Amino acid sequence: MRLTLSLITAATTALCLAPSVTHTQGYPNKPIRMIVPFPPGGGVDFVGRVVGQKLAERIGQQVAIDNRAGANGIVGLQALMAAPPDGYTIAAVSAGPLAINPHLYAKLPYNTLRDFTPIANMINFPLMLVAHPSLPVKNVKDLIALAKARPNEITYSHPGVGNTGHIAGEVLNAVGNVQTVGIPYKGTAPSVIAVLSGEAHLTYSSIPTALPHIRAGKLRALGVGNAKRMPSLPEFPTVAESGLPGYEAYAWGGMLGPANMPNDIVQRLAREIIAAVNTKEVTDRMLNEGTVPTPSTPEEFSAYIKSEIKKWGDVVKAAKIKVE
């Protein structure tokens, strides 16, 4: 009996001293699915595809984009929640579903801080206020004057109730003391198409989506929602300097996984995503498209999400935005 116990003790000690097996051994050995909870053509879709392509090169596996649009990101996030936390399903997400939805919906099928694993922030993109060329305004000052003269007549399209594009319009209404009317569409690209076709007068779009149409003369840029002019696009004034001092409207895009992902896989993905964003190719492309790379660690991204939940809660309350 003593010999048996001694052998067991020795074996147990050897196991404890042996190097621990990590989940990253052999990871990834198959394609990764990246859920984008919005239609193709929007800002989050843009950054997801750009970073996803570079990520695929770095890890030697395909990164397949899976657009799961619906209910202001809720459909896509439900798909992420249902996925195994093994690192083979991730999602490119934004402020709307994560930080704004909790203040709009009495019941959400997810809890932002409990049901997901922050991996890395990637990008900040100021929203661009654009108008159909037929609207007789050249800047935000003109728009405010026209909106006061024609209350409830000027319309703006947005990607859905509670989306940052919707809130940007409601904040302009509140700060400018005007009454423009929001019309929801299913995503950023459809809301921009609505202005291109003349269905709506205005929209608050991510810059990559709107910029080609601005350069083609099909949309008129009225202002950027950044605090300062974009260094890569200095020709576009800010909304603040164009007529509404202090106004800001921006969104961001980061990467999440399901809850309970192994930390070593989270850290591996974060390192690769941060490295992808920091490559000159990706950085230059983002800056040229009017976006700002903001790569961060999982810990930094987690803290940022918490701060954004509080900030957007204050904005939603002040603008009195509700989901009908």
Q: What's the pLDDT tens digit per position in 136-150?
A: 999 999 999 999 999
- Alpha-carbon distance 258 to 178, whole Å? 41
How many other CB atoms are found less than 10 A from the CB of residue 21? 7
* Fold classification of 126-242 (topology level): D-Maltodextrin-Binding Protein; domain 2 (3.40.190)
Q: What is the mean pLDDT of residues 89-98?
A: 95
C-alpha 219 chain-centroid distance: 23
The predicted model scores a pTM of 0.83
Q: Is the pLDDT of residue 11 over 50?
A: no
Give pLDDT, residue 320: 79
Give pLDDT, residue 23: 60
Q: Is the pLDDT of residue 86 over 80?
A: yes
- Tokens standing for residue 247: 């106004």
Helix axis angle for 298-319 and 263-278, nearest 10°, is 80
- Cβ atoms 255, 93 nearer than 8 A: yes
Q: What is the mean pLDDT of residues 115-125?
A: 96
Percent of the chain with pLDDT over 90: 73
The radius of gyration of the chain from alpha carbons, rounded to an integer in Å, stands at 23
Q: Tell me where in the chain the CATH 3.40.190.150 domain(s) lie.
A: 32-124+250-319
Cα torsion for 220, 69, 248, 276, to the nearest 10°?
Answer: -100
Secondary structure letter of residue 38 according to DSSP: S
Q: Is the pLDDT of residue 3 over 80?
A: no
Q: What is the mean pLDDT of residues 279-294?
A: 92
Q: Is the pLDDT of residue 122 over 70?
A: yes
Q: Is the pLDDT of residue 73 over 80?
A: yes
Which residue would you say has higher pLDDT here, 13 or 102? Answer: 102
Give pLDDT, residue 12: 47
Give pLDDT, residue 16: 47
Which residue would you say has higher pLDDT here, 251 or 183? Answer: 183
- Alpha-carbon distance 301 to 324, whole Å? 31
Q: Tell me where in the chain the CATH 3.40.190.10 domain(s) lie.
A: 126-242
- Cβ atoms 244, 68 nearer than 8 A: no
Give pLDDT, residue 178: 96
pLDDT mean across residues, the chain = 90
- Alpha-carbon distance 176 to 164, whole Å? 18
Which residue would you say has higher pLDDT here, 21 or 112? Answer: 112
* Fold classification of 32-124+250-319 (topology level): D-Maltodextrin-Binding Protein; domain 2 (3.40.190)
Percent of the chain with pLDDT over 70: 92
Q: Is the pLDDT of residue 216 over 90?
A: yes
Q: Is the pLDDT of residue 17 over 70?
A: no
- Alpha-carbon distance 25 to 265, whole Å? 9
Least confident of 50-54, 69-73, 128-132, 221-225: 69-73
How many other CB atoms are found less than 10 A from the CB of residue 17? 7
Give pLDDT, residue 41: 87
Least confident of 14-18, 41-45, 297-301: 14-18
- Cβ atoms 222, 131 nearer than 8 A: yes
